[in-house]
Structure 1
Amino acid sequence: MSVKDCSHHKDRRRKLIRRFCAGLLIFNLILLIMILLVWAILQPKKPRFILQDATVYAFNVSAPNFVTSTIQITISSRNPNDKIGIYYDKLDVYAIYRSQQITYYTGIPPTYQGHKDVNVWSPFISGVNVPVAPYNGIALSQEQAGGSVQLIIKIDARVRWKVGTFTSGKYRLHVKCPAFLTFGSQTTGIVVGNAIKYQLVQRCGVSV
């Protein structure tokens, strides 16, 4: 084979590679435009969560950094989208105090939330002698003795979005709900048997 023939084959190979790269670039560009158009038309919104109430059956700190608690909470979730459904594949609920977890994880059964639908859950979250940092145990004891404690109710979830027959991959969703509890003479709760119920109606922060 002559040098001229080798050069001809190399030029042809380069042209094929350039055409392939150009075609791939155009395909990706079209796909990106389609995704942006669908996103703009659907205008997806994050679900909205509200912590409606909390019923405290037990809450105390023991020597000096162990927390025991039993709390039933009521949380509602609303899907604000009129064209997108939400699969909640996993939901874990727990309480934290000053960025430290003070209850065990409580799982909520997987569910599907249709367009504009509202789901309401009332799980128990609890922990027996859960160890916390000594300074958090002291602060929690002092705040409870002073008449008020600020907790955060958290939900860690895995969700999928459904548009028509298409279902997306899994996304992590995080929910934070402030829960302000009062004790003693300052309590704003209502005594229900051996528990105290607090009407909170507190909107939660949601991130995906």
Structure 2
Amino acid sequence: MASSSAAPPRVRDEAEYARWKEGGRRDDVGLERRLARDIAGIVVSMDVSRKVQICEAHHRARRLRRLATAALVVAALAAAVALALYLVYRPVRPQASVSRAAVYRLASANGSLATSFPSAAPAPTHALAASVQFTLLLHNPSDRASLLYDGLVAYAAYRGEPVTPPAPLPPVVQDRGADVVMSPLLGGAAVPVSPDTARALAADCAARRVQLRLVVMGRVKYRSGPFRSGWRDLYVRCNVIVGLSTEAAVAGGGDVPLLEYPRCAVDA
């Protein structure tokens, strides 16, 4: 009797346990599903945030590319404008030429030097007494820039040695495309030279072919439209080959023929 009466509770307990276990399984499945949904939501949100970050990075890179392109375009335009202004207003060196030469004396200094230049001191053993004149033409080839010359000095040289003291020249303003003529008279005192130079001059005068050099130094400033340059060093040298005899060199012959077209170089 006892066994028959105790069996139903155990059965009921087992049934309840089975239902409880089945409910637990359902709860586990629901929990797993919720976890799966949460994980999927987290993954989706992470993907969305990553996509947003990637899009923002792309946008920043695109803006940087646009800014770089704009900067390059502005720099190219500025360079083109600067190049155009330079080509239009760039300074052009003046051109020089010699159209006339006169030699009043070019010989070794001796006792007659005191008669020609009473105030001069006794001449050294090897010295040249020179009195020459050149007609120098300075041409401004630019039609946009004017030139200002200042601090000019000129002297004559023979075989690389000065034969006249430096003579100062007045300041000159040269307009666009204009020509300036200078005719400085150089000389006035004996200038010491080497013995080789004195002997070479005597030989060249005997051959009636003497090469002299006119040198002009100073500074020049360019004024082109709204632009003005600073002072630049000016260095002009012209090689002049003249037909000069010994008699003309000693006694003075005035104008002498130019045997070759004078070649001039200008640094400015």
Conserved? CA contact 1:157–1:173, under 8 Å = yes
Conserved? CA contact 1:51–1:76, under 8 Å = yes
Q: Which runs of 5+ in 2 are unaligned?
A: 1-71, 111-124
SS at 1:81's partner residue? coil
Q: Which moved more, 1:164-173 or 1:66-75?
A: 164-173
Change (3 A) 1:110 1:166: same
Conserved? CA contact 1:89–1:111, under 8 Å = yes
Match of 2:211 among 138, 147, 150: 150
Partner residue in 1 for 2:202:
141
Amino acid at match of 1:47: P
Match of 2:180 among 119, 125, 132: 119
Q: Within 5 A, what are the aligned runs for 1:1-208?
A: 36-62=83-109, 65-184=126-245, 195-200=253-258, 202-208=262-268
Higher relative contact order (CA 8 A, sep 6+): 1
Partner residue in 1 for 2:40:
none
Structure 1 residue 67, shift from structure 2 partner: 0.3
Pairwise CA RMSD of aligned residues?
2.8
Partner residue in 2 for 1:3:
none
Aligned equivalents of 1:45 and 1:94: distance in 2? 25
Structure 1 residue 195, shift from structure 2 partner: 3.3
Change (3 A) 1:33 1:99: farther
Change (3 A) 1:42 1:127: same
Amino acid at match of 1:202: P
SS at 2:196's partner residue? helix
SS at 2:262's partner residue? strand
Q: C-alpha offsets along residues 42-83 of structure 1, whole Å, 9 cap, x if unaligned?
A: 343211111111111111114752100111211111100011
TM-score w.r.t. the length of structure 2 is 0.59
Q: C-alpha offsets along residues 163-200 of structure 1, whole Å, 9 cap, x if unaligned?
A: 1243211001111111112223998xxxxxx6321354
Amino acid at match of 1:206: V
Structure 1 residue 37, shift from structure 2 partner: 3.7
Conserved? CA contact 1:68–1:128, under 8 Å = yes
Change (3 A) 1:135 1:184: closer
Aligned equivalents of 2:257 and 2:201: distance in 1? 22
Q: Which runs of 5+ in 1 are unaligned?
A: 1-25, 188-193
Conserved? CA contact 2:242–2:257, under 8 Å = no
Conserved? CA contact 2:91–2:224, under 8 Å = no
Identity of matched residues, %: 28
Aligned equivalents of 1:31 and 1:120: distance in 2? 41
Instruction: Flag the structure with larger Rg.
Output: 2
Q: C-alpha offsets along residues 82-139 of structure 1, whole Å, 9 cap, x if unaligned?
A: 1111000121111111111111111111011010011111110114221011211111
SS at 2:141's partner residue? coil
> In proportion to residue count, which structure has more strand?
1
Conserved? CA contact 2:91–2:222, under 8 Å = no
Aligned equivalents of 2:78 and 2:155: distance in 1? 40
Count of aligned pairs? 177
Aligned equivalents of 2:185 and 2:238: distance in 1? 15
Aligned equivalents of 1:31 and 1:95: distance in 2? 48
Conserved? CA contact 2:238–2:262, under 8 Å = yes
